[in-house]
Homo-oligomer: A and B are copies of this chain.
Amino acid sequence: MVSNKMLPDFEQELLNVSSQIDEYLDKSKFKDVFCPEEILHSSFHYLELGGKRLRPAVTLFSCGAVGGDPSKALPAAAAVEIWHNFTLAHDDIIDQDEKRRNGETVHARWNREAKENYGWNDVISNRFGNTVGILTGDVQQGWAVANLIPDLYYSLGIDPKIALKLTYQLGFVTLTHLVEGETLDVLYSKTSLANLNENMIQRMMAKKTGALFQFCGLAGAMIGLNTDDEKNHIVSSLSNFAFMCGTAFQIQDDILGITANEEKLGKPVGSDIIRGNRTIPLLRSFSKANDSQKQLIQNILGNRSASRTEVKDVINLIQDLGGVDYAKDIATSQIKTALNLLNSVPDSKFKKLLSSWAEFMLHRSL
């Protein structure tokens, strides 16, 4: 466990990472590249809404933990944040979400701006919002994979074979996992809870969330060790460490979707219920529910016209039936397994930061 004494250092390091990433991704460098203006602003929209840069942090810390200079991993750390933003932009259209990080989602913003700036009607503005959202994700995907990762070579002189391997790993391997996870998430949200089991949900989360964290550990370690061998055993330790923490992070995310303070969450509590997301706490509680409780859950889950009271009833039921505690135990055990993977890494400031980061992934309240 992280001592209280350590936390302020870790939080300071997280802020340092944020400012390094934001400085590296200076908007003015891209104003003649991302055109027209809508594409420029929307490509930076989620960055400007905040966020904790947890993916860049584990990339830089992993580089340092294997003895590398973390500043050499900066283009890769920026790439994972932008790549994450690509997936948010597209997922928010797919899930029809309007709010994120206490602000508008990309497509919701351009839907509103189309009405305000051009006076278009609801149907046309909504389509324009989706258009900008789709194209923004496309730009961010390419920006991460084909501009920021190659910058490892073009700006920092890192072996082009390493840059090419990371392009392949993020742009193809991580991508195909992520698309599979997202597709399964959509299909499962329409599948009866009785036909799903925990392994299916774990697999979906591993693809949807774990894979990108896995890449972060892998990229940091490969750059730090100056190797293009993704099977190197220290690279594997760090990528598996980040992967385990990533799935624990997703479980914690699903828990916060049930238990969090709405303002801290940055989006409506219970939106997972209304969308019909299949999560570990939900599935566990459903398996423990009696027939009338099962009926209540099935009536509200995925029901976009459910009232706030009805959603609250389901949230209370999930908590009462022990789903949240059960999920928390799984996440805690995954973090423990992850921390054991760090045994093969020598002690250092960065190893400590990785441990603090792992604990933060589990204990964060937002």
Contact = CB atoms under 8 A, between A and B. Distances in A.
Contact of A142 (B38, B94, B172): B172
A176 interface: yes
A171 interface: yes
Nearest to A138: B179
Interface in A23-42: 33-36, 38-39
Contacts of A190: 118, 120, 124
A67 to B, nearest CB: 24
B33 A176 contact: yes
Contacts of A139: 175-176, 179
B134 A90 contact: yes
Contacts of A168: 146-147, 150, 154
Contacts of A182: 135
Nearest to A177: B35
Interface residues of A, number: 51
A274 to B, nearest CB: 14
B180 A35 contact: yes
Nearest to A178: B138
Interface in A115-153: 118, 120, 124, 127-128, 130-132, 134-135, 137-139, 141-143, 145-147, 150, 153
A141 B141 contact: yes
A321 interface: no
Q: How many subunits of this chain does the assembly comprise? A: 2
A187 B134 contact: no
A171 B184 contact: no
B34 A135 contact: no
A297 to B, nearest CB: 20
A295 B94 CA distance: 39
Interface stretch (A44-52, A158-166, A256-264, A330-338): A158-166
A341 interface: no
A35 B150 CA distance: 28
A170 interface: yes
A157 to B, nearest CB: 12
A186 interface: yes
A150 B167 contact: yes
A228 to B, nearest CB: 9
Contact of A179 (B39, B120, B179): B39
Given A35-B183, A131-B183, A147-B172, 10 more contacts: A39-B183, A94-B134, A134-B134, A134-B137, A138-B138, A145-B145, A146-B170, A150-B167, A164-B164, A171-B171
15 contacts: A36-B183, A36-B187, A93-B130, A138-B175, A139-B176, A143-B172, A146-B146, A146-B172, A147-B168, A150-B168, A153-B161, A160-B160, A160-B164, A163-B164, A164-B167
